[in-house]
Amino acid sequence: METRYLRVGYEKALSTRKELLSAELNSININKKLKQYRELRKKEFFLKNKLRIALGNLKIKTNLILSTLPKEKKEIPEIKERKKNKVDKDITNELEAISKKLAELGN
């Protein structure tokens, strides 16, 4: 196999070398940023885990405090029978009126 060489002008060789060095510099910067990102993710995970544990402890403490407090009794108001009877009377009156109308239409 033969080795062939191309003649490249000085300006072209210089610009190609600059582009190659620029690409290498960008690659190194990307690698550096990636390492920083990984470190930040580790810190974030550690802090989230610490927060989760702290919230769990807080929940346990609040439940303990709430269990020591006396229970509040809630009174349920009784439904008045008068209103219920009034509604029943209104419904029965409407039913009677409708049945009368049906009877009139039937005749």
Q: What is the pLDDT of residues 41-92, one digit of tens each?
A: 999 999 999 999 999 999 999 999 999 988 877 777 776 655 556 667 788 8
Distance CA 60, CA 79 (A): 39
End-to-end CA distance of the chain: 116
Sorted by sequence, the CB contacts under 8 Å of residue 16 that are 6+ apart come out as: 8
- State the pLDDT at residue 86: 66
pLDDT in tens, 23-46: 999 999 999 999 999 999 999 999
Structure-token pair, residue 101: 């109308």
User: What is the pLDDT of the chain when averaged over all its residues?
Assistant: 88
